Amino acid sequence: MALRQARDAWTGAGDPVARLYRRASTTLSLEQLLGIFAEELASALPYGQLVYRHRLGHQDFVYSTGTGGSHRCDYQLTLEGINYGALALKRRTRFHEEELEIIEYLLGILICPLRNACQYALVEQAALTDALTEIPNKRALDMALVRDCSIDDRHGDNFTLILCDLDHFKDVNDNYGHVIGDHILKATAKALREATREGDSIFRFGGEEFAIVLPHTDSDDGLEVADRIRAGVSQIRVPFGDHQVSVTASAGVASHRRGETPDQWLARADDALYRAKNGGRNCTRVAHVVKGSKTQPV
């Protein structure tokens, strides 16, 4: 009976400290955890904006809620000597000492769940990242295609997919070794990043094949991006003794059609890539769709 009463008192407590203790243990999502903290802090004291920043692996994570002000307080969040990000609070009026004590007390409750959420986010990121090139992998591509198909079907946004394959890459590995081949692959990922916009998504699709998803882009613009990518890849040079190893690339471009499944979209891009490879390589081909009884490029 005493244990049940203690439990009921704990779960029924309405103060921010007790609620934060309870709620912070319910999620490993970094975004959800910060949302919980923002809500409970707001119930304890007024503030205008909360901003959290942290470098997680190869990505910058930013969480922000509210609007700012001229007064702020900043905290570096560390536990056992390890940094778990920076948190800033802003508002129009100065923070008083009593309020700073409340903030620091609640941050003390947050830090252990925050560490767990950061570690979980790193595990998730590793599962979706290609270890060699440090760009998202095929699993991440599959998830992105599902998401983008849904967005296009609901809102009519244009998405274009490019599949890019290095020509005769097996010969590179056979003639120069896999170490040189790995350098080529890493340089290709870099060339793709340089040839695309910040909002575009790059993936290592498998082996020497890469995928690029371009939002708000039709097939004509996708063709231009694919040719720019191929030009960047052709500039790659990896030293091998007195020799400079270089490669070219072939590309297939397919804009998503409303109602098309991710597998169908990917298959059309892959067919365009196949035609580019059969057409002599080091070129780009655009996918086809059936319109009436005729097959036409899009």
Residues 6+ apart with CB under 8 A from 15: none
Residue 59's pLDDT is what? Answer: 84
From the candidate CATH numbers 3.40.50.20, 3.30.450.40, 3.20.20.70, 3.40.1350.10, the one assigned to the domain spanning 2-127 = 3.30.450.40
For residues 123 and 258, give the distance between their C-alpha atoms in angstroms, rounded to a whole number: 34
Task: Identify the H or E element spanning 269.
Answer: helix 262-278
Domain spans, the chain: 2-127, 138-297
Task: Identify the H or E element spanning 163.
Answer: strand 159-166
Of 91, 244, 124, whose CA–CA distance to 176 is shortest? Answer: 244
CATH topology of domain 138-297: Alpha-Beta Plaits (3.30.70)
CA separation, residue 189 to residues 142, 162, 181, 204, 266 (Å): 18, 14, 13, 8, 20
Below-50 pLDDT ranges, the chain:
1-3, 5-13, 292-298
String of DSSP letters for 100-147: HHHHHHHHHHHHHHHHHHHHHHHHHHHHTB-TTT-SB-HHHHHHHHHH
Residue 295's pLDDT is what? Answer: 43
Residue 15's pLDDT is what? Answer: 81
φ/ψ of residue 216, rounded to 5 = 55, 40
Dihedral of CA atoms 142, 143, 145, 150 in degrees, nearest 10, equals: 140
The residues annotated as belonging to the active site are: 208
Residues 284, 250: contact at Cβ < 8 Å?
yes
Residue 290's pLDDT is what? Answer: 53
Residue 251's pLDDT is what? Answer: 98
pLDDT in tens, 181-210: 999 999 999 999 999 998 999 999 989 999
